Amino acid sequence: MSVLTAPPVANLAAHFIDLENTFGAHNYHPLDVVLTRADGVWVYDVDGERYLDCLSAYSAVNQGHCHPRILSTLVEQAQRLTLTSRAFYNDQLGPFYQELCAFSGYEMALPMNTGAEGVETAIKAARKWGYTRKGVPADQAEIIVCAGNFHGRTTTIISFSSESQYKDGFGPLTPGFVLIPYGDLDALAAAITPNTVAFLVEPIQGEGGVITPPPGYLAAAAALCRDRQVLFIADEIQTGLGRTGKRFACDHEGVRPDVIILGKALSGGFYPVSAVLSDREVLGVFQPGDHGSTFGGNPLGAAVARTALRVLQDEGLIENAARLGAYLMQGLRDLASPRVHEVRGKGLLVGVELTPAAGPARAYCHALRQRGILAKDTHHTVIRLAPPLVITRSQIDWALTRIAAVLAG
């Protein structure tokens, strides 16, 4: 019998939730919906209920769930060759590099698997660039980061989180990071020292509550970094690849970061693929043996990512995110709910910030679930709405009706 066959139990959802709670570490607190299949913007639970996915696995399934073209690449490549390790060349990685560089406009890429590994890779590149190119004394490199950041969960990355829960109990922490307020140019200028190698920033803070910085901030920060010989590193793991209605969120301000980190939608949700993109000046610092990953750059991931990139472009998903994101945000504002403090975001990365009197966002996510919409609260007061970029206008109208009902109480 296949591992996919449903077990003969009366309450399937309760069964699977119980298994997760009994045998899994409790490092998440999911909504009590158990999903079993998906198609495009829709996900289905084990009882056959259908939901509109407004989280998109934190923007990993921008192309829509189980996209048929990415699926057929996955199956075809899985039957040919899945993993070689980087001890040998393979016939998918080179074309993936070439296509990713053409898409992004950078000279070089370095592939990893998860977003956090991409961030770690960018940190290592920036430090080595600082020591070998900028002349920073050994072990003195500083990287400036922003309050409210989310860059992943490794020991080094949580070391510079401003969220105490992310780091309490996990010390000793990695030194070399300087925290400044997000969106504050003066703070950035004041924080730069001769030992600063990089400024690591999210163009929009997704996990932080869909926080958009003041207009012009990214462009001015990038210019400041250029003047002071500091690498401007954009973490576009959540905001990149069409989510905000542009190729990258930095494109909204015409900013070309020195280093850009991608993940999530780079594989359309099929397989973990992340990458750091930059020019020879930066990624050229890596010598054989400096850095690596057994699965990073594997032919299965590379093939999947190649098709995921094509789908974004061939199906006009970036333009769709711009058009329908504006439509969704206007629709949310037109609801004029007294429970909503602010609707903000870019493209299809939308945050609905509730008023203090409205109560916790999680309660609204439960209510949305009852009406067939899956969304995730972030920072207790914000409902994040980030459906797959394949969503249509009529599906957004469908969602707005239900959101209106929930926000009306």
Ligand X SMILES: *Cc1c(COP(=O)(O)O)cnc(C)c1O
What is the C-alpha to C-alpha distance for residues 217 and 204, in angstroms, rounded to an integer? 11
- 16, 177, 199, 264: the catalytic one is 264
Instruction: Kindly write out the interface string for residues 289-328 of this chain, putting x where it contacts ligand X by CB under 6 A and - elsewhere.
Output: ----------------------------------------
Is 232 considered catalytic here?
no
Q: Which is nearer to ligand X, 208 or 331 (CB)?
A: 208
Is position 276 an interface residue for ligand X (rule: CB under 6 A)?
Answer: no
Q: What is the DSSP secondary-structure string of 108-165? A: EEEEESSHHHHHHHHHHHHHHHIIIII-PPTT--EEEEETT-----SHHHHHT-S-HH
Is position 127 an interface residue for ligand X (rule: CB under 6 A)?
Answer: no
- 45, 53, 235, 377: the catalytic one is 235
Is 235 considered catalytic here?
yes
Which positions from 133 through 152 interact with ligand X, judged by CB under 6 A? 150-152
Contact at 8 Å (CB) between 119 and 159? no
Is position 233 an interface residue for ligand X (rule: CB under 6 A)?
Answer: no
Is position 213 an interface residue for ligand X (rule: CB under 6 A)?
Answer: no
Is position 209 an interface residue for ligand X (rule: CB under 6 A)?
Answer: no
CA torsion sign, 311 to 313 to 315 to 320? positive
Residue indicated by tokens 């030194």: 175
Distance of alpha carbon 269 from the chain centroid: 11
Q: Which stretch binds ligand X (CB under 6 A): 75-83, 109-117, 173-181, 377-385?
A: 109-117
The one among 40, 64, 111, 115 contacting ligand X by CB under 6 A: 115
CB of 375 to ligand X, least distance (A): 16
What is the C-alpha to C-alpha distance for residues 138 and 405, in angstroms, rounded to an integer? 59
- 150, 248, 270, 286: the catalytic one is 150
Is 170 considered catalytic here?
no
What is the C-alpha to C-alpha distance for residues 317 and 322, in angstroms, rounded to an integer? 9
What is the arrangement of strands in the sheet containing 373-374, beginning at the earlier edge strand? 35-39, 42-45, 50-53, 373-374
Contact at 8 Å (CB) between 273 and 309? no
SS3 261: strand
Q: Which is nearer to ligand X, 119 or 406 (CB)?
A: 119
The one among 121, 156, 238, 381 contacting ligand X by CB under 6 A: 238
Is position 202 an interface residue for ligand X (rule: CB under 6 A)?
Answer: yes
Is position 58 an interface residue for ligand X (rule: CB under 6 A)?
Answer: yes
Report angle CA 312, 114, 326 to the nearest 5 degrees: 40
Residue from 334, 123, 137 nearest 233 by CA:
123
Is position 203 an interface residue for ligand X (rule: CB under 6 A)?
Answer: no
The one among 52, 93, 119, 368 contacting ligand X by CB under 6 A: 119
- Binding residues for ligand X, rule: CB under 6 A, are 58, 114-116, 119, 150-152, 202, 206-207, 235, 237-238, 263
Q: Provide the annotated active-site residues.
A: 150, 235, 264
